[in-house]
Chain A
Amino acid sequence: MKNLTAAALAAVVAIGAGQAVAAEGAALPKYDWSFSGVFGQFDRAELQRGLQVYREVCSACHGLQYVAFRNLEALGYSEDEIKEMSAEYSVADGPNDEGDMFERPGRASDYFPSPFPNAKAAAAANNGAAPPDLSLMAKARPGGPDYVRGLLLGYEDPPAGFEALEGLNYNIYFPGNQIAMAAPLFDEAVEYTDGTEATAEQMATDLASFLMWTAEPYLEKRHSMGVKVILFLLVFTGILYAAKRKVWSDLH
């Protein structure tokens, strides 16, 4: 009887867990990011590789509207390199003296141009699901960079009996398990300029790290300032405690 109850309980729990997985996506693997922890800082090489993945793969469909080319200085690029990179993009400007809009090469002060003029156009070109802007993606999903990395590596063959809807792809980490985006990364999808071997896992990690930077560009300053503030407050609070003890000593 006892065993039966236990088995029934286990079944209920298992069904419950199964439902939870279907609704929220599987538990994300935790990656040991260079920027996590109190002293965490970005890895410049990783960010540069992530930028390369964004430019060569993601930017075909996803915008990065809150990031300006000038911001890339934080990744370790020189002013000239940034000028060169931004000039590769064509940016809409205007109106000119004739009242017409025109295209011109990008400048350091420009923001990454979005691949589609608006969300409707983006949805129309992508089977009805507009690819979201990536600037804040690493803060806009539970799990943050772990989610970004997991999602990019979470494409698997669907389990037996799972019917994905027309045009949707099976992904173990996506809520509902059916995502419009096809698996974007495969080994050697880019050729890293720094010679790193471009495995899918390497690219997913680099990109997630890069997107953490685009979402939280002041993370390094926040961490280093925080350490100083905490150290100051520890000493200051110690002094305040000593002062309190001194003031109250004549009462006890």
Chain B
Amino acid sequence: MSGLKTNNAVIRWIEYRLPIFSFIDHAVGSGYPTPRNLNYWWNFGSLAGLALVIMIMTGIMLAMQYTAHVAFAFDSVERIMRDVNSGWLIRYIHTNGGAFFFIVVYIHIFRGLYYGSYKAPRELLWILGVAILLLMMATAFMGYVLPWGQMSFWAATVITNLFSAIPLVGESIVTWLWGGFAVGNPTLNRFYALHYLLPFVIVGAVVLHIWALHRFGSSNPLGIEANGPQDKIPFHPYYTAKDAFGVGVFLLLFAGIVFFAPNLFGEPDNYIPANPLSTPAHIVPEWYFLPYYAILRAIPDKLLGVIAMFGSILILFVLPWIDRSPVRSAKFRPIYKQFFWIFLADCIVLGYIGAKPPEGIFLIIGRLATAYYFLHFFIVFVLSYVEPRRPLPNSIGEAVLKGGGAPSAAVAREKA
């Protein structure tokens, strides 16, 4: 994988002065050696990148038509839906794109949890990923406020009010966030400014994420490091082809929702203009926030609830040091594997509870599920010391090619 070989004089001329072609080749081309055994769960990284690009492109188009003012925001969105050429399509892609972005990223995260992708030496790669999740949540929340419907307004009110739980300075912080003494025009304006800014901060974090990824390369389903050419294949054409197929499947599902159920993820109340004098019967966040909402409401004390809610994500930052098992993949950790599935089920239960009113049986289940969420990390900590492990294969090539790992055509292609 030496320097770029090309017969194109223009490319050679540019490459000599600005080696951008070899840079791309080393990033996502034939110059990036990748473990040969990545399964389809590894598609979700590139899909998340695609979702980000779709969101930014449609978002910029919407920004050209949207008016960030409490008196005009709702009307301007309706104008986009009715009078702007293909405005309905752009907006439905953008609103549902947010939901799909979260679906893809959550699968990406749970893949990392299952295969232990967060372990040394990829801790920083994982931490950057968690930071991206936090940025996405902030961006999505502020984007949800922009149409200025009933749910927009009341979600903004409820979420910003969480900061009032901070002792002593809470109330002042909330006033500062609002830019006034209630959610109003200054709030909408700054949310719009930040909703436009944060996606580009995400792009920056993604660049760092990919940079850190390329330091040691992708992890893989076996969780052992790829050694030598029989373990690796060039990213292009193998994974470009595999990712492209994944993109096709993703777009099929995405188009199915955009064209045939565009309001499936939305709340009907958000088609009612914001009214500070009328509180909706149930204030429900977007589905991707429901588990955190359940954790928040499970705890009777407001401050502790807010701490638990943020803690549920912040704990992921230190996961590489909680899980001390040297074995990465759950394939070779029979007990951890069981607890992984229980944890996933627990998160889904939390999501279900988040959509229900916090009373009766829902409150009890919500509290148990919240307790288990945090207990899981303690279990993982203990498991890493006491769990019996299955023997690891010697190399990826040996495991995948079943006896031998003879240099294949892929290696020949690399050398060519």
Interface residues of A (CB under 8 A from B): 23, 38, 66, 71, 132, 135-136, 139-142, 144, 175, 215, 217-218, 222-223, 225-227, 229-230, 233-234, 236-237, 240-241, 243-244, 247-248, 250-251
Apart from A218-B88, A247-B237, A248-B242, 15 more pairs, CB < 8 Å: A23-B281, A66-B82, A136-B271, A218-B81, A222-B260, A225-B89, A233-B251, A237-B249, A243-B244, A244-B241, A244-B242, A244-B244, A244-B245, A247-B241, A251-B238
Whether a CB of chain A sits under 8 angstroms from the CB of B391 is: no
Task: Of the listed stretches B8-16, B187-195, B262-270, B374-382, name the one at the interface; the rest are far from the partner chain.
Answer: B262-270
Contacts of B82 in A (CB 8 A): 66, 71, 217-218
Number of interface residues of B (CB under 8 A): 36
Q: Which of A225, A230, A248 is close to B241, meaning CB atoms less than 8 Å apart?
A: A248
Q: Is the interface of A mostly helix, strand, loop or mixed?
A: helix
Contacts of B413 in A (CB 8 A): 250
With A248-B242, A251-B238 already in contact, the answer to whether A225 and B410 are too (CB < 8 A) is no
Greatest chain B CB density within 10 A among A175, A236, A237 is at: A237
**B268:A140 contact, CB within 8 angstroms:** yes
Chain B residue at minimum C-beta to C-beta distance from A138? B271
Greatest chain B CB density within 10 A among A225, A241, A244 is at: A244
Chain B residue at minimum C-beta to C-beta distance from A247? B241
Q: Closest approach, in angstroms, between the C-beta of B174 and any C-beta of chain A?
A: 28
Q: Closest approach, in angstroms, between the C-beta of A213 and any C-beta of chain B?
A: 12
Q: Closest approach, in angstroms, between the C-beta of A17 and any C-beta of chain B?
A: 14
**A222:B88 contact, CB within 8 angstroms:** yes
Whether a CB of chain A sits under 8 angstroms from the CB of B252 is: yes
Whether a CB of chain A sits under 8 angstroms from the CB of B121 is: no
**A230:B410 contact, CB within 8 angstroms:** no
**A139:B271 contact, CB within 8 angstroms:** yes
Q: Which of B260, B272, B409 is close to A251, meaning CB atoms less than 8 Å apart?
A: B409
**B252:A234 contact, CB within 8 angstroms:** yes
**A240:B245 contact, CB within 8 angstroms:** yes
**B248:A237 contact, CB within 8 angstroms:** yes
Alpha-carbon separation in the docked complex, A243 to B239 (Å) = 11
**B248:A240 contact, CB within 8 angstroms:** yes
Contacts of B410 in A (CB 8 A): 250-251
Q: Closest approach, in angstroms, between the C-beta of A68 and any C-beta of chain B?
A: 9
Chain A residue at minimum C-beta to C-beta distance from B248? A237
Whether a CB of chain A sits under 8 angstroms from the CB of B57 is: no
Alpha-carbon separation in the docked complex, A183 to B146 (Å) = 36
Pairs across A and B, CB under 8 Å, 5 listed:
A136-B271, A230-B259, A244-B241, A250-B409, A251-B408
Chain A residue at minimum C-beta to C-beta distance from B270? A140
Alpha-carbon separation in the docked complex, A233 to B249 (Å) = 8
Whether a CB of chain A sits under 8 angstroms from the CB of B180 is: no
Alpha-carbon separation in the docked complex, A141 to B248 (Å) = 34
Contacts of A241 in B (CB 8 A): 245, 248
Alpha-carbon separation in the docked complex, A247 to B241 (Å) = 7
Alpha-carbon separation in the docked complex, A71 to B259 (Å) = 22
**A230:B237 contact, CB within 8 angstroms:** no
**A237:B252 contact, CB within 8 angstroms:** yes
Contacts of A215 in B (CB 8 A): 271
With A240-B245, A244-B241 already in contact, the answer to whether A230 and B255 are too (CB < 8 A) is yes
Whether a CB of chain A sits under 8 angstroms from the CB of B233 is: yes
Contacts of A23 in B (CB 8 A): 281
**A223:B260 contact, CB within 8 angstroms:** yes
With A243-B241, A247-B241 already in contact, the answer to whether A140 and B255 are too (CB < 8 A) is no
Alpha-carbon separation in the docked complex, A243 to B247 (Å) = 13
**B237:A142 contact, CB within 8 angstroms:** no
Q: Which of B92, B244, B408, B409 is close to A240, meaning CB atoms less than 8 Å apart?
A: B244
Whether a CB of chain A sits under 8 angstroms from the CB of B69 is: no
**A250:B408 contact, CB within 8 angstroms:** yes
Alpha-carbon separation in the docked complex, A241 to B259 (Å) = 24
Alpha-carbon separation in the docked complex, A218 to B89 (Å) = 9
Chain B residue at minimum C-beta to C-beta distance from A237? B248
Alpha-carbon separation in the docked complex, A112 to B75 (Å) = 15
Interface 1/0s, chain B 82-112, versus A by CB < 8 A? 1000001100100000000000000000000
With A140-B271, A244-B242 already in contact, the answer to whether A251 and B248 are too (CB < 8 A) is no
Q: Which of B245, B259, B281 is close to A222, meaning CB atoms less than 8 Å apart?
A: B259
